[in-house]
Structure 1
Amino acid sequence: MSVYRDSPRQRLEEVVEHLRSQGPALRVGTGERAAIVHRALESVGRDPTLAARSAPTAGLSEPMAAWALRTTLEPATRARLEQLAQAPLAAQHGERPVSLAAVVLAGNVFTAALRAVATPLLFGVPTLVKAASRGDEVLRAFAEALEPPLRDALAVVTFPRDDARAAALLGSAEVVHVHGNDESVRRMRDLASPGALVLPHGHGVGVALVFPDGLTYDERQAAMDSLAADVAAYDGRGCLSPLRVHVVGSATRAIECADRLHHALGRLERDLPRGPLPEAIAGRQMQWRGLAAATGTLFEGPAHAVAVEEDAPLPFAPGYRNVSVHAVGDEAAFLAAVRPLGAHLKCVGVAGEKLGAIASALDHAPALVPRVCPLGTMQTPPFDLWPEALPPWTGLYRRLETR
């Protein structure tokens, strides 16, 4: 692994050529690649100071950073990685990985780097990473723990915004994964090679759907405890974070759920405190809470707020453990409410017996491809799951013959 900070364009072009030459060395068995990736991930998990080093730049409390690392790494067992590495070849033969993958990372969810970078290496593809300008501790810990030949097939670069250097980074990549906001995705798409497959992992939101009338008193409380964990994870800043809760039923039911969620978030704060609130977010939070209090019911805690929409829908909350609750009449009303989100809807967490029915309805809704899961698991997807519902090896193989 090589790290290049603020390198000139010519140096980046040399890095690209070096990586492209590493392809043949990665033609080891899928089991060996999976074992190398697994040992590197295990090393990340054993680092006793990584959470403390990562928390300041990630903008999280140290307990929240430790939780994020643990829950990201737990699903990445060696058996699962081996199964994943073999998956695209199960019905195909003539393994032909592309010569270079590029990964452009954002800094809002610091553990996302592990999944984004480990995946192309697992499939034997040399990988060039443009890391966020700050907060790359987890990525560097993983990269430094890699063994040959994967170690020599990974390079990490950082530099300020510079289209010439970005073009050098992306120009030879056959597949480009872009993590960031919509503007970043558009910019990287313009700079990539015309023949490259650009896969956007852009701005997104999560929502929750609760069917309280189908739950007992204790089940309703358990559902709000689970939802609180989803809201608190990463302080509500990730693309899977639930920012709005739809409660099927009356306004009274919505207020009851909001009150329970408010108390659950207060209890969770003791073990998983929120990180520092940036000044810009503090201003947006004040405006959002003021509007919520003026138009509906607002439950506030020291580090969270739950708003019940009554007179008019609120704008989406600014994250940071602010969330709104809205009563809907039935599943059809819920689908109508989320349909305008389109591809930005990344995750739907469901409480109640209708998870399967909601998943089926969303499968048939145009432009909607969210992950559908039980509450309490929205922020802990399987290691090999991409939010856009694409196979994780998309774009990493070419000209495979089918049997």
Structure 2
Amino acid sequence: VWAPRADAVARALLAEHQYAAAYDYLKTAVDGYEKESMAAELVKALQTMSSIDQILNRNDQANALLQRAVEASARLGSDSLAVKSRLLAAQGRLARAAGHIPESRAYFKEALVLFPQEQEKTTGDLALASISMGEAMLEAGRKEEARELFLKGLTGSENASYLLNDCLNALRGLARISTEQGNYEEALAYLHQAEGAARGVLPADHAFWAGLYDQRGWVNIMRKAAPEARADFLKAVSNAAVSPMIAAQSREGLGKAWLDAGEGAKARENLRQSIQVRESNFSSDTLSLGRVYHSLGIASDMEGDREGALQAYSRAVDALLKCGDGPERKNLLVQSYLCKAYALCDGEQWQEAVDAFEAVLPLLEGEQRSENYKQLGRCYDELGMTAKADECWKESGFPRVRRSSPVRRTDGGRISSRR
């Protein structure tokens, strides 16, 4: 008797956003449900407590409650797999928020295996299931399925204030899908909707705000709105609850926004901070490190610091060579190699430039490959290796150009043509 009554009081308090008081009543409900072996009610109460913990920035406690719910879901009979799938997806979200990306992907992958393909209702707890599984679908690259699940979950979550955290994640998920599809204004609309839903409910130092402003900053980067992007990234990094992952992303975003404004010094300052956070916390994410080092090279180049640019491009190449294959990795590796090679040419380090041009050659096609052979021909000419130069000029298809003197960088502030 008392467990359902405590549960009902908790839900009434949640409707008024009185999370701490509701949490205490839910503890009473959980104790009663456990004693009476009421598995379905127990799982539901544990999930609600976990949602409250997430709203209150207590993610470790939230994950522990989800694990208890996973264990309790084994007693649900035919519904156990469907319930377990959404619990695992929720754990995947928490792991992702903590920066534990491989662990997060493992949770989402297992959740998708267990997820039932047919879901007719989307109200109440099934709204939560739809949102959780939408996140799993999004992580798996199944964007249209994710969009449908997010929208169904949002429709079915009306008047369920304990689902606020999940609804905010659904809105951010929809914004992510819109961004990846190039619909930047639509993405901004979802993010503004999330901001409005959380305003006055979540405290100012809640981790949600840092994540929201970081995401909005990147959308503004994509839509070429550098001043708006800088404002959002600054809000993100100034948030007291900012995570290392968000700090690294937002500092990188600030660096890119200042690059767009032609402010190399300010860009370098923020990009270096991003690298410091990444190397301290996510050194295994070599793709992201390579990307930030490449941007740092461009910023150094903008400031006329050839040695700093060369060092950054070299670090970018080293990091990217440790990555798995993929289109982003290939594009960054090509650009970093070429930038490194041109920086070496600027310093008249011809043999080192040859090594860089030769290393990138297998990755190039068409005009890029012809241009690369042309640059190799010039380097070999500077080295006095005529036979090698002849071969490269022939492969390039360009008419041979001889210079009376090497190309030099006479103006320390001039930006190299590699940009």
Q: TM-score, normalised by structure 1?
A: 0.29
Q: Which has the larger radius of gyration?
A: 2
Query: Which structure has greater helix proportion?
Result: 2
Larger RCO, structure (CA 8 Å, separation 6 or more):
1
